[in-house]
Amino acid sequence: MQAIALAALVASIGAAWAGQARAEEAFVTNQLSENLTVVDLTSLQPVATIAIGGKPAGVAITPDGRFAYVTSPDAKALTVVDAAARRVVGRINTGGGPLGVAVAPDGATVYVADWYAAAVRVIDPVAQRVIADIAVGASPSGLAVTPDGRFLLSADRDADSVSVIDTATRKRLATIKVGERPFGMTIDAEGRRAYTANVGSNDVSVIDIAENREIGRVKTGLRPYAVALAQGRGFVTDQYDGTVSVFDLVTLAPVKRITVGDYPEGIAATADGRRIIVANWESNSISVIDAVELKATGEIKVGDGPRAFGAFLRR
């Protein structure tokens, strides 16, 4: 019944969304309070709290902004949230330890990294079920899909590598050696380069996707978690330093370190590329960074233990 209801919801609201303007929002997973905080990024105010359960960690918003998909490692589940109605509309059993999550550009497929099974679960969001498993390296964490939808990249933390997957065949095409303990994964808008934050070696690996190889490394602060891209720069959360490291995307040279809240984790750029949003685990807040001026401009309280691991901005 849940699958039928979700399919009907998708069909019924499609036309209503066309041409509508809305404020950009952050959907922040709060692992310790087991919920989502929705923050309006125009007013910089929380506007909703959605109960999730199961220690939610990963989050991905569909490209059209209709749904948020949230992983709960303790519940071994993926929760489906109607982003506009601010309510849970489905829960999919994934088994194992679901962590990173990514959505195909057309919204028709959801990918979930299973930390324990060295696999990526392929999920049909309308049928609300796992339809395939893809073998990857040990402890997959961050996931990202290329803009054309052809490739899925998985940061395999305990294998010190990145898996490149053909989404059509659901087979691993290549394994790319990177730094130690890769975690967050980000792909640029052109689908040419990928960036993975290496928690163990305190750097970011730069990957040429066409050539399936690492082409550079960028030093960061201690325990880098994830990467965002804006204004020709990379922004990296340094968990142990309470900073965001900034580097030039062309030269890969360090630019600046920006102080944010305690233990920053999830990070994302707004649609216009002018702001960077950072989730601060120990401060129970999100920080706002001016991506042009390279300075923190505000901090907003959210739930307890915010992670926001993934594409958590609804545009």
Determine the Cα–Cα distance for residues 229 and 187; give it in Å rounded to an integer.
Answer: 9
**Which residue is listed with tokens 């095409």?**
173
Sign of CA pseudo-dihedral 214, 142, 41, 147: positive
Amino acid letter for position 190 = E
pLDDT (tens digit, 9 = 90+) per residue, 189-215? 999 999 999 999 999 999 999 999 999
Domains of the chain: 2-13+23-314 (2.130.10.10)
Q: How many CB atoms lie within 10 A of CB 16?
A: 9
152 contacts 145 by C-beta, under 8 angstroms? yes
**Which residue is listed with tokens 């309510």?**
87
Q: What is the pLDDT of residue 23?
A: 85
307 contacts 266 by C-beta, under 8 angstroms? yes
Q: What is the pLDDT of residue 152?
A: 98
Determine the Cα–Cα distance for residues 182 and 97; give it in Å rounded to an integer.
Answer: 17
The conformation of residue 107, written as its DSSP 8-state character, comes to S
Distances (CA, A) of 259 to 51, 243, 305: 30, 4, 19
Q: What is the pLDDT of residue 21?
A: 56
The parts of the chain modelled with pLDDT lower than 70 are: 1-22
Amino acid letter for position 50 = I
Helix (H, G, I), strand (E, B) or coil at 9: helix
Q: How many CB atoms lie within 10 A of CB 159?
A: 20
The reported pTM is: 0.93
Distances (CA, A) of 185 to 71, 168, 195, 199, 221: 16, 20, 6, 12, 17
Q: What is the pLDDT of residue 1?
A: 42
Determine the Cα–Cα distance for residues 168 and 150; give it in Å rounded to an integer.
Answer: 7
Distances (CA, A) of 304 to 26, 35, 53, 175, 281: 15, 9, 13, 36, 8
Distances (CA, A) of 139 to 2, 14, 32, 118, 163: 30, 36, 22, 6, 11
Q: What is the pLDDT of residue 146?
A: 98
Q: What is the pLDDT of residue 16?
A: 38
